[in-house]
């Protein structure tokens, strides 16, 4: 399989960094082809504006979706965006590795979506959800949390994690046609012993060895 790892954490020695590198090693060992986007290391510019484009549709008023549609027709995206769009189009499975910050993804990862998932290349002209451009591809969130697992259950302190992740699962992945795999979550890694962290990484590697056969999950509409 062709697998894209999108990684968003500023510290390479973090648990997220360990999960990222464990995934690459495990997937390659299993015979999969892996491409990566290490957003902080690149460094990827998350700010979406006219620098997204080498082309101009309307120089008097900037409307991003119209500029995206125009750029999609004439290959007018900036080189950094075009490179990321090619990776997304190439992959069979896309995995995001990140820490849950303010109940969502880090800003650099959201900015990556804002710039890369463009009208005309990732969606548009009726190609959304079941008819999405990325139909046939799978996507997975792999993340860490600050709090313990019981804080992310229905009725827990922070609420149901599945509900917190729905804007990504439904609003980004399924909207563009991706099918969704069960998220991989390591709760409160800062509170784990070295042995527990090592065990968590082993379980992550074990799951990845069977990723080609893994079934997708149902994500309900809002």
pLDDT digits (tens, 9 = 90+) for 195-214: 999 999 999 999 999 999 99
Q: With beta carbons less than 8 A apart as the criterion, state whether 201 and 21 touch.
A: no
* d(C-alpha 103, C-alpha 62), whole Å: 30
Q: With beta carbons less than 8 A apart as the criterion, state whether 34 and 109 touch.
A: no
Catalytic machinery residues: 146, 152, 158
As beta bridge partners, residue 77 has: 53
pLDDT tens digit sequence for 144-187: 999 999 999 999 999 999 999 999 999 999 999 999 999 999 99
> Exposure string (b/e) for 109-138, b if CB count within 10 Å is 16 or more?
bbbbbebbbbbbbbbbeebeeeebbbeebb
Q: With beta carbons less than 8 A apart as the criterion, state whether 9 and 16 touch.
A: yes
Q: With beta carbons less than 8 A apart as the criterion, state whether 117 and 81 touch.
A: no
Q: With beta carbons less than 8 A apart as the criterion, state whether 161 and 152 touch.
A: yes
Indicate the pLDDT class of residue 81, thresholds 50, 70 and 90.
very high
Residue 74 has pLDDT above 80, yes or no: yes
Per-residue pLDDT, 220 = 87
Task: Residue 29: count other Cβ atoms within 10 Å of its Cβ.
Answer: 11
Instruction: Tokens for 56, please give them.
Output: 């101009």
* d(C-alpha 109, C-alpha 107), whole Å: 5
The average pLDDT across 130-136 equals 97
Indicate the pLDDT class of residue 221, thresholds 50, 70 and 90.
confident
Indicate the pLDDT class of residue 28, thresholds 50, 70 and 90.
very high
Run of H or E residues at 97:
strand 93-99
Instruction: Tokens for 162, please give them.
Output: 């599945």
- Written as one string, the DSSP assignment of 107-155 is HHHHHHHHHHS-BTTTBBTTB-GGG-TTTT-EEEEEEEESS-GGGGSTT
């Amino acid at each position: 399989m062709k697998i894209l790892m999108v990684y968003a954490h500023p510290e390479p020695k973090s648990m997220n960094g360990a999960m990222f590198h464990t995934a690459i090693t495990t997937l390659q060992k299993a015979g999969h082809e892996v491409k990566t986007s290490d957003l902080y290391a690149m460094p990827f510019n998350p700010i979406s504006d006219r620098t997204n484009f080498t082309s101009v549709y309307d120089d008097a008023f900037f409307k991003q979706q119209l500029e995206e549609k125009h750029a999609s027709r004439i290959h007018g995206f900036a080189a950094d965006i075009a490179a990321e769009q090619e990776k997304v189009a190439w992959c069979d499975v896309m995995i995001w590795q990140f820490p849950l910050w303010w109940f969502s993804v880090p800003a650099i990862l959201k900015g990556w979506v804002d710039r890369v998932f463009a009208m005309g290349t990732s969606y548009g002209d009726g190609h959304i959800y079941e008819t999405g451009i990325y139909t046939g591809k799978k996507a997975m969130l792999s993340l860490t949390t600050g709090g313990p697992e019981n804080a992310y259950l229905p009725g827990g302190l922070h609420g149901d994690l599945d509900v917190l992740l729905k804007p990504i699962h439904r609003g980004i992945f399924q909207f563009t046609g991706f099918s969704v795999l069960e998220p991989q979550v390591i709760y409160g890694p800062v509170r784990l012993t070295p042995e527990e962290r090592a065990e968590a990484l082993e379980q992550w590697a074990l799951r990845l060895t069977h990723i080609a056969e893994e079934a997708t999950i149902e994500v309900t509409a809002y």
